[in-house]
Structure 1
Amino acid sequence: MSNKLKVEIHSFSYKKGGIPKDNTGNGGGFAFDCRGILNPGRVDEYKQQTGCDIGVQNYLETVTEMPNFLELVKNMVSINIDNYLSRGFEHLQINFGCTGGQHRSVYCAEKIAVFIKGKYPETSVTIQHDEQPQLNHQ
């Protein structure tokens, strides 16, 4: 077995910067487009909030198709992580994009990180919110 699998998760804006580059030389990974989910940023009370705020999270979880979307993402990502772990791969990049990189993509990045850390504790997970750097954490 090789080194620990590092999963790098990004939230980004399609309008501002586009899909993040993979700097490892592996050529990228997943890029999930969240723009098909209703945008909480179009609701006045959520405009200044992010996907880390409880109001936005409740909106995404109860008003939109986000729970179904994320369940499909979890299934797809799990296939690769299982495969990468068995083959000793060291890096996987997962990107979530929405219009502004503030609500939907941030929410997805945070939720998929929790999922991966819980299901695959042997991995190292980092999150990079490209448009919301104040939210970055390990």
Structure 2
Amino acid sequence: MLHIDIHSFSYKKGGIPKDSSGNGGGFTFDCRGILNPGRIEEYKAQTGNDTGVQEYLETKTEMPKFLELVKSIISINIDNYLERGFEDLQINFGCTGGQHRSVYSAIKIAEFIKEKYPSGIEISLHHDEQHHLNMSNG
């Protein structure tokens, strides 16, 4: 069973999450190159889990293209790790505050993995700055 640990985090607050598996590997994707919905008044208090923020990211930014590239690159490793019987992989998404872009990315990549790999994989989803989302999505 491959366990995939997915994190959203803030570069400003906590920095890149440590790999607790001891492997010291995985991916860290910087979402700060995507327009930040947090700079728009109506989205400031929301997170990447909210519909308005998601629609903004999907229609007004490069986020869809960014995530398609992420899906391609992580799939190479997931396929390889499953073949070789590896047990741990960490995937991190960071943005300035760990609230909008990274949360959205972590959620969407977790959904992608669950759909593409319906068996043989266990996913843990952690929002390092948005703890209230962990129960509903973790």
Q: TM-score, normalised by structure 2?
A: 0.97
| Number of equivalenced pairs | 135
* Structure with greater helix share of residues: 2
Q: Contact 1:21–1:28 (CA<8 Å) still a contact in 2?
A: no
Q: Which runs of 5+ in 1 are unaligned?
A: none
What is the CA distance between 1:24 and its match in structure 2? 0.8
What is the CA distance between 1:28 and its match in structure 2? 2.8
Counterpart AA for 2:28:
A
What is the CA distance between 1:77 and its match in structure 2? 0.5
**Segments of 4+ in structure 1 off by > 6 A?**
none
Cα shift readout 1:84-125 (whole Å, capped 9, x = no counterpart): 000000010000000000000000000000000000112101
Cα shift readout 1:53-73 (whole Å, capped 9, x = no counterpart): 000000000000000000000
**SS of aligned partner of 1:10:** strand
Q: TM-score, normalised by structure 1?
A: 0.97
Structure 1 residue 19 and structure 2 residue 11: aligned?
no
The match for 2:3 is: 6
Separation in 1, partners of 2:25, 2:39? 31
Work out the percentage of aligned pairs sharing the same amino acid.
74
The correspondence for 1:125, drawn from 123, 126, 137, is 123
The match for 2:81 is: 84
